[in-house]
Structures are given as C-alpha cells and as structure tokens.
C-alpha cells in the first residue's frame, strides 16, 4: 500500500476547477484519478447558475469565493470537510463509451465498496429514491442546491441521506467524473444564507445529508488516507493515481 496522502492535492476550489479544465483541454491520454481536499471554504455553482449581485455581495461578506463549474447541477459549499475525487477517462476508453447511467453506476459501485471497506455504512440509490428526493426538493424550494436531491450513481447512508454527489464533464478529448464526499458535516446554513438569503433552508439540507465521520464513528483525518487507498485499490488497473 502506497502513502495515500502523497496522492492528495490540497488547494482552493478555483485551483481545482482550473486543473480539471487544463486536463480536459490538453486531452486525456490515459485514465487518471485526482484526489483533492479544499484548504478553504468556497461556493461553487452549476454551469447553468449565474451568481447575481446579491449572492456575490453575501459571499464577499462571508469571506467566500463564489465560482461556476463546467458541469451541471446546483450550488455546493466545499471546504476541508469534503474530499473531491475526479476520474479522467480517455474518449476511446470502454468506460467512456457507456451512457450516463452506466458510467455513474460504475463509479457508484467503486465508492460503495471503498466506503464500506473503511467502515462507512452506505448504499446506492434507485429510481424511486431519486423521484422522491426531487419531489422533496421541489416542495422545499431547494432545487438550487446540489445536495438537495439524488441522481443516478450517487451514494447515500443506509437511511437515505446523501453522502457522495456526482457530476460529469464530457468533452471531445476526454471525460471527467467529479465526485464529492462529505468527510464531516458541512455548514448548510452558511450555504443557504449566501445562495438564497435564507439560513433556515440549511436546516432542511442538514437533514437530507450525512457524512463519513458521523456514519463510521471514525475521525475524518483517520478516514481520509484509508478512503483514498480503498478507492485506488478498486479502480481498474489501467487507472493511476497522480498529482496532476
């Protein structure tokens, strides 16, 4: 087993997004995995979400950067409590040729096996769970938040609270599967305060989500290297861990 922390990059969310863009623009020649932990809190919004003046002012007051990513989905508050894992796949790789449900299911199983190996109880989602989560998101006016609903390939606690969120960036020169695992709880009220100016919606988001530390009873700093190793051991042999 290699030193997993040597494979972990630590930096800002804008730096991570820039690195993902650079890899895709240069072209993915071989499968690669980028493990990233954020060194500061920031809000990232989906490509269809454009920060308005109020959101920008509130994020500045909170001392948070607010940026847009190249993939879809809703707003996310990322910080040291989140492990981001991006899997880069060449366009001609068999995995890349799968449809979106198949490719997400492929990654979902890797996450489930990795988390369970580290003592984090979890499960995948089915269509009924996805449909129900979207209904709740609509009823609670939470469609703006990435972690308010479920999608194919995502991972939840055994009682259905979201644990790993997924997104896909598909370009001519490669595919990036981006996933975010909450190592320990996020500040959901801070996210909702900035994005929709309503801290109370954070209470609902908190109920809909979970984290690896709470589920396993193991401290996040202890889980982190074990999770990286477990994930790397379960991806196909032609994938490599890299500092990118």
CB–CB of 199/100 below 8 Å? no
Question: Is residue 36 a contact partner of residue 8, using CB atoms and an 8 Å limit?
Answer: yes
Instruction: Quote the radius of gyration of the chain (alpha carbons, Å).
Output: 17
d(CA 67, CA 47): 9
pLDDT by residue, tens only, the chain of 244 residues: 344 555 899 999 889 989 999 999 999 998 999 999 999 999 988 878 888 999 999 999 999 989 887 666 789 999 999 999 999 999 999 999 999 999 999 999 999 999 999 999 999 999 999 999 999 999 999 999 999 999 999 999 999 999 999 989 999 999 999 999 999 999 999 999 999 999 999 999 999 999 999 999 999 999 999 999 999 999 887 765 444 4
Closest CA to 96 of 184, 169, 192: 169
pLDDT score at 2:
41
Which class is 4-241 in CATH?
Answer: alpha beta
**pTM, 2 dp:** 0.90
Q: Where are the domains of the chain?
A: 4-241
The whole-number pLDDT of residue 14 equals 85
């Amino acid at each position: 087993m290699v030193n997993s922390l040597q494979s972990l990059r630590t930096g800002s969310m804008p730096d991570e997004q820039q690195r993902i863009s650079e890899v895709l623009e240069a072209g993915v020649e071989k499968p690669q995995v980028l493990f990233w932990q954020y060194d500061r809190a920031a809000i990232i919004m989906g490509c269809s979400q454009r920060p308005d003046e109020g959101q920008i002012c509130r994020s500045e007051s909170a001392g948070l950067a607010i940026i847009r990513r190249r993939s879809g989905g809703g707003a996310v508050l990322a910080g040291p409590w989140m492990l981001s894992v991006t899997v880069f796949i060449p366009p001609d790789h068999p995995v890349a040729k799968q449809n979106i449900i198949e490719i997400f299911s492929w990654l979902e199983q890797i996450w489930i096996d990795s988390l369970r190996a580290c003592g984090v109880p979890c499960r995948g989602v089915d269509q009924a769970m996805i449909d129900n989560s979207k209904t709740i998101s609509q009823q609670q006016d939470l469609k703006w938040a990435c972690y308010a609903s479920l999608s194919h390939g995502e991972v939840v606690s055994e009682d259905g609270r979201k644990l790993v969120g997924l997104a896909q960036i598909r370009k001519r020169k490669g595919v990036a599967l981006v996933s975010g695992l909450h190592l320990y709880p996020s500040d959901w009220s801070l996210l909702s305060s900035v994005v929709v100016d309503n801290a109370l919606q954070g209470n609902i988001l908190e109920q809909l989500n979970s984290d690896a530390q709470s589920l396993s009873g193991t401290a996040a700093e202890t889980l982190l290297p074990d999770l990286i190793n477990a994930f790397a051991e379960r991806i196909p042999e032609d994938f490599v861990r890299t500092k990118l």
